[in-house]
Chain A
Amino acid sequence: MSNILELHNLKKYYATQKAVDDISFSIKQGSIFGLLGPNGAGKTTLLRMITGIFFPDSGKIQFDGRAFDPLNDIIKIGYMPEERGLYKKMKIGEQALYLAQLKGLSRTEAMEKIKFWFKRLEMESWVNKKVEDLSKGMSQKLQFVITVLHEPKLIILDEPFSGLDPLNANLIKDEIYGLAQRGSTIIFSTHRMEQVEEICDHIVLVNLGQKVLDGTVSDIKQQFKENKFSIKLRELPNALDHSSFQLVEQNANALTVRIQDGFKSNDVLQYFLQQNVTIESFNEILPSLNEIFINLVENTNASARAFQKVTA
């Protein structure tokens, strides 16, 4: 499938820091893409360039096969920033109508879409309420509706589940899947790795303004796996020592082993079979994204970055 978005060597420097320092990646149409990174890694700046709020200092953005033209392409993008914002004193229906019209929908079109989405997410009774009367979760839902109302080709969601209860989070998650199935591409920016593992096809990890990881979730896990396996035995053999593996952890009859270089998982299995013990389970342990994330970001002064001077 074609790429909806391609970033080529994007750079954006502020006076005191390199917010985005030479980042390139591409996103396939219809995929759910995870943009990860610690606080202050440059995610928001990157997203603001993709949404046309900022211009990159250098580099190119290709959108839908052509050079990105913020003025005209903006209607094809829906952006839900991390910091939610709505007019507190405005009625919800009017607010949604206004923001949809700003995206370029006609009044009648916007009304239709509002009716559709409000019905779908069971928000019809709110139409004449003001935002200040809504709970945090409710306004979160409203914000999501406003973001996707104009059926954008590219939907950018910054921490979409924060503040939602599990029920509503699932509701939104299903909508995200549905939108992707109908051909929208979703960029999903978050710190919550378990959500990324669950939802995203493809991820990019940025740190200190640079890209440090790029690939599908399973590829990345393969890339960072440490050849660990967990074995559960009915009874322990006499000896737990073999050149094919190294014992990492033992918890009664549950073992964690690392397979040594030059050996395969079958060699380990063979060893235990020969010991004549009953094997109850044998699983590969893949690192969680969380572990990979922490490993990559730790010790990089990510948190101190905001106060650093640009030296290069």
Chain B
Amino acid sequence: MNKILLIIQREYLTRVKNKRFILTTLLMPLLIVGFIAVSTLLAIQGKESHKIAVVDANGFFKGNLKSSGNLNFEFEEGVDTLNYISKGYSDIILIPKFEGTEKTNYIIRSKKRISIITEGNISDRINAAIEDKMLQDAGINKGSLDSIHKQSQFAELKAVEENGGTVKESNAALSYGIGFGSGMLIYITMFIYGAMVMRGVMEEKTNRIAEVIVSSVKPFQLMLGKIIGIGAVGLTQFLMWIVLIVGLTTIAQAFIPHDVLEQVNTLQQYNGQMPSGGMVKAGEAAQQIYKVQHTFSTANWPVIIGCFIFYFIGGYLFYAALFAAVGSVVNEDPQDAQSLMLPITMPIIFSFIIMSNAVQDPSTPIAIWASIIPFSSPMVMMARIAYGIPGTVPYWQLGLSMISLIGGFLLTTWLSGKIYRTGILMYGKKVNWKEMGKWAFRRS
């Protein structure tokens, strides 16, 4: 036992101390947060202001076409396409005379190419002005229409699922996000860390250190130590990412003004409504934050996180053992590894495909069975669990899936151990899956 611990320790420390590991672990969250920050910043600051001269043959738009934000409409006389730049305008719009109801081309000329978003904005403004005119022509009072729009209660669909005697609010979009996100994470884990196990085994074999070590410990101990050690590296990396992202988000939250936070708290106390007769109305920001928090609170986080950790570890162990077996039979040629890996990577990729369907429709027979069979269960079950236990995933399915995954990785580890034991000391011979099968199933 003690020797396995030593091996785990070495596998873990050599990787965690590696500069590349430290860099990726620290930089990844910074990169993600930074990317979001930069793109938000660009979205805000990227809008340059336009001073637009409007040449209106109808004389209608003056007063109806509203300037706001970065768009400034001016109706100066005597501006034309030849002199608008010298008069300090960035763009000029030529509006033809209204004739009937046909679509007409409005031409905008610009000093610089205008962006697609700005173009859309300008077009929206013009159309809104035309709509106003048409309403007026039809005798509809715009003021009263606006007030109807404002006061009318629109239907807001709120999904609620049966949960024993009580009903519980659910949110399909959130379930989709959680299911896909966690399935994706498990998918990435299997590939990255599975391949890391394989490379580690190959290194020991080609360096010929395997023979030195197996004269001290059993080959099975060496394999298990490596799998657990690298698994711990993976967990460390994910934990670090979570801590860093949570930390950075908290720092970001510190920039939210105090009164907004107070409003959010009040909203939480009164279930989304401001107390009746309250003096303050919740601001837009507070309502947004409350909405996000409320949506997140509809998910059953303890169950989801618990299951995620279980399937993350179980799925990793299941496939890492297979990757280790492949690593042990490969000789110096990495191309052998490619072809031998195919039977392992195929089920992972298939599981991913099933998973991406299961997050949309978690109760199809194929999704149910794929969430029970250990080859695909880590990803597919996570996709389904997000939709709720025991509503979408009955307890028996979850139990069966977990038991078969535990049984599955015990089996793959045992079989791989037997392949590994033979493969790690065998040089020069090209091994195929048939031969590996023979090693795996022969009696000790």
Task: State the CA gap A86–B204 with chains docked (Å).
Answer: 8
- For A86, give the chain B residue with the smallest CB separation: B209
**Given A48-B425, A89-B14, A90-B14: A102 and B213 within 8 A (CB)?**
yes
Flag B5-28 by CB within 8 Å of A: 1 or 0 each: 011001000100000000000000
Range of interface residues on B (Cβ < 8 Å): 20 to 34
Instruction: Determine if B68 is an interface residue (Cβ-Cβ < 8 Å).
Output: no
How far, in whole Å, are A99 and B204 apart by their CA atoms in the complex? 14
Mask of A79-111 contacts with B, CB within 8 angstroms, 1/0: 111011111111000000011011110000000
Expressed in whole angstroms, the Cα–Cα distance for A77 and B208 within the complex equals 19
What is the chain B residue whose CB lies nearest that of A91? B14
Instruction: Please determine whether A85 and B215 come into contact, CB atoms closer than 8 angstroms.
Output: no
Closest residue of chain A to B217, judged by CB?
A: A102
Q: Are B208 and A84 in contact (CB under 8 A)?
A: yes
**A145 sits at the interface (CB 8 A):** no
- A81-B216 contact, Cβ under 8 Å, with A89-B14, A90-B14, A101-B6: no
Check B425–A99 contact: CB distance below 8 A. Answer: no
Which residue of A77, A84, A143 is within 8 Å of B215 (Cβ)? Answer: A77
Q: Residues of B contacting A88 with CB < 8 Å?
A: 207
| Chain B positions 192 through 212: 1 when the CB is less than 8 Å from some CB of chain A, otherwise 0 | 000000000001100111111
Is A27 interfacial (CB-CB < 8 Å)?
A: no
Of the candidates A51, A81, A102, the one whose C-beta lies within 8 Å of that of B6 is A102
Q: Does A53 have its Cβ within 8 Å of any Cβ on chain B?
A: yes
Q: How far is the CA of A74 from the CA of B3 in the complex (A)?
A: 13
Instruction: Identify the closest chain A residue to B438 (Cβ).
Output: A15
Do residues B215 and A74 form an inter-chain contact, with CB atoms below 8 A? yes
Given A90-B14, A99-B216, A103-B216, the answer on whether A83 and B6 have CB atoms closer than 8 Å is no
Bound Cα distance from A102 to B210, whole angstroms: 13
Q: In this complex, what residue of B is CB-closest to A54?
A: B425
Closest beta carbon of chain A to B386's beta carbon, Å: 41
B311 to chain A, nearest CB (A): 32
Per-residue A-contact encoding for B289-325, CB less than 8 Å = 1, 0 else: 0000000000000000000000000000000000000
Q: In the complex, which residues of chain A have a beta carbon less than 8 angstroms from the beta carbon of B427?
A: 83
Complex contacts, B373 vs chain A, CB 8 Å: none
From known contacts A98-B6, A101-B6, infer whether A81 and B207 are also in contact, taking CB-CB under 8 Å. Answer: no
**Which of A80, A86, A98 is B10 in contact with, Cβ under 8 Å?**
A98
Residues of chain A lying within 8 A (CB to CB) of residue B10 = 98
Q: Whose C-beta in chain A lies nearest to the C-beta of B5?
A: A101
Query: How long is the Cα–Cα vector from A159 to B212 in the complex, in angstroms?
Result: 15
Known contacts being A48-B425, A90-B14, A102-B217, is A85 close to B212, with CB within 8 Å? Answer: yes
Give Cα distance in the complex from A89 to B21, angstroms: 15
Indicate whether B129 reaches chain A with its CB closer than 8 angstroms.
no
Residue from the list B7, B14, B208 in contact with A81, Cβ < 8 A:
B208
Q: In the complex, what residues of B have CB within 8 A of residue A143's CB?
A: 212
| A87/B215 in contact, CB under 8 A | no
Residues of A within 8 A of B (CB): 48, 51-53, 74, 77, 79-81, 83-90, 98-99, 101-104, 143, 146
A-B contact pairs, 22 of them (CB 8 A): A48-B425, A53-B211, A53-B214, A74-B215, A74-B216, A80-B212, A81-B211, A81-B212, A85-B208, A85-B212, A86-B209, A89-B14, A90-B14, A98-B6, A98-B10, A99-B216, A101-B6, A102-B3, A102-B6, A102-B217, A104-B3, A143-B212
